[in-house]
């Protein structure tokens, strides 16, 4: 078969590992040929490609980013965009298309599938917010980076008797915040799923100081909000999928904490460091399993589906199911966070 591949949306560690695994299994076991479309859906729209061979995909397992580059191109917003994509796939003789991406990228696959394109999806996002799968590749690496940052903040916070607020990514889901916060032993963990109770934040910090500590660590998700307020963003410009650029709640919070407690408070925003660099062993493994599973799905003729991890098994679900809603954190993890904190009152 002749198979197209693309990586769309925000990049994340492990994209290259998926590409490598799919290409190796496809070429070596099925005699497939691969065409890589550059910069996500933009490459399909404008027919910009690179050959994906055993040679061009060699040595990329541990490389961060994506050799296919990425973009947030929304072909649904381009007049005749979907039709142009179908035409490009035809021109390149593509029998099936594997799209690596989150909900925005997969929403285009869903539209193309309706037009007869044989699509298979692979769940990518550090946000870990795709429904249908327990884990997206890239998440583990982002959490490792954030946890290391929280660890490092402990010593400098202690030296200077400061409160340190660490802002992490995750869009509207608190997976990175809650996981790195628990793993890093943060005193306060704030997520988009629960509005920030600033009085409670200060109570938790004060409790720590009352019990002999002279510093505290707060982890806040970029999408967390104070009650009755909008998410904090840089400017009001929306990307092609209608998202604002979330950033800044950490600094806002730091100012408020300092004002209310009198303790010197600083903020650090980890930003894109969470998406950069080499994937963890866990992400290399998961990405490789996803890549092999994606090619197997293509050869089983099971299209319009996303490869997913359920428990320890790789399986697949309809693409529509994966994008139906954002998978946010549940009460079980929030209970762990609360369980580590002193009771109110
Ligand atoms: O979806 C991944 C993500 O890193 C989010 O956590 C974040 O809100 C967004 O992408 C940032 O996007 P960009 O790189 O386009 O600024």
Interval 256-307: pLDDT, tens: 999 999 999 999 999 999 999 999 999 999 999 999 999 999 999 999 999 9
How many helices, marked H, and strands, marked E, lie in the chain? 11, 11
pLDDT of residue 345: 74
Which residue from 42, 127, 244, 328 has its CB within 8 A of the most atoms of ligand 1, so it is best to mutate? 127
Per-residue pLDDT tens over the stretch 227-257? 989 999 999 899 999 999 999 999 999 999 9
Residue 103 is a catalytic residue: no
Q: Phi, psi at residue 201, to the nearest 5°? A: -60, -45
Interatomic CA distance for residues 187 and 177, integer angstroms:
12
Which residue from 9, 10, 242, 249 has its CB within 8 A of the most atoms of ligand 1, so it is best to mutate? 10
* Residue 173 near residue 127 (C-beta atoms within 8 A): yes
Which tokens in the block code for residue 133? 């799968």
What's the mean pLDDT when you consider all of the chain? 97
Q: Is 127 a pocket residue for ligand 1 (Cβ < 6 Å)?
A: yes
* Strand partners for 227: none
Q: What Cα–Cα distance (Å) separates residue 332 from each residue in 141, 190, 328, 329, 344?
A: 22, 15, 12, 8, 19
Statement: the pTM of the whole predicted model exceeds 0.95: yes
Which residue from 171, 179, 328 has its CB within 8 A of the most atoms of ligand 1, so it is best to mutate? 171
CA 342–ligand 1 middle distance (angstroms): 33
Catalytic residue among 32, 127, 187, 296: 127
Q: Phi, psi at residue 168, to the nearest 5°? A: -120, 165
Q: Which atom of ligand 1 is nearest to the CA of 239?
A: 15
Collapsed DSSP state (helix, strand, coil) of residue 193: coil
Per-residue pLDDT tens over the stretch 162-211? 999 999 999 999 999 999 999 999 999 999 999 999 999 999 999 999 99
Interatomic CA distance for residues 172 and 252, integer angstroms:
18
pLDDT of residue 166: 99
Percent of the chain with pLDDT over 70: 100
Return the residue whose CA atom lies nearest to atom 12 of ligand 1: 10
CA 11–ligand 1 middle distance (angstroms): 8
């Amino acid at each position: 078969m002749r198979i197209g591949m693309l990586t769309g949306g925000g990049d994340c560690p492990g994209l290259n590992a998926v590409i490598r695994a799919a290409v190796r299994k496809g070429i070596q076991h099925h005699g497939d040929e691969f065409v890589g479309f550059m910069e996500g859906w933009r490459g399909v729209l404008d027919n910009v490609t690179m050959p994906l061979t055993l040679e061009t995909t060699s040595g990329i397992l541990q490389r961060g980013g994506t050799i296919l580059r990425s973009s947030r191109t929304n072909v649904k917003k381009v007049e005749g965009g979907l039709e142009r994509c179908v035409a490009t796939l035809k021109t390149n003789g593509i029998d099936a298309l594997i799209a690596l991406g989150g909900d925005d990228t997969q929403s285009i696959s869903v539209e193309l599938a309706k037009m007869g394109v044989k699509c298979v999806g692979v769940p990518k996002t550090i946000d870990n917010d795709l429904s249908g799968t327990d884990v997206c590749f890239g998440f583990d690496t982002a959490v490792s980076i954030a946890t290391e940052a929280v660890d490092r903040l402990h010593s400098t916070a202690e030296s200077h008797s400061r409160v340190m607020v660490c802002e992490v990514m995750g869009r509207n889901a608190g997976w990175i915040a809650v996981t790195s916060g628990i793993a890093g032993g943060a005193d306060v963990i704030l997520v988009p799923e629960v509005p920030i109770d600033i009085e409670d934040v200060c109570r938790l910090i004060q409790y720590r100081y009352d019990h002999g500590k002279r510093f505290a660590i707060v982890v806040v998700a970029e999408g967390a909000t104070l009650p009755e307020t909008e998410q904090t963003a840089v400017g009001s410009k929306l990307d092609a999928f209608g998202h604002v650029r979330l950033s800044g709640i950490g600094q806002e919070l730091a100012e408020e904490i300092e004002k209310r407690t009198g303790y010197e408070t600083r903020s650090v925003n980890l930003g894109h460091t969470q998406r950069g660099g080499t994937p963890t062993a866990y992400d290399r493994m998961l990405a490789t399993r996803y890549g092999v599973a994606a090619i197997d799905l293509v050869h089983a003729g099971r299209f319009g589906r996303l490869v997913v991890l359920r428990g320890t098994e790789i399986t697949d679900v309809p693409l529509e199911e994966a994008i139906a809603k954002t998978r946010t954190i549940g009460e079980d993890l929030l209970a762990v966070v609360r369980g580590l904190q002193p009771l109110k009152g």
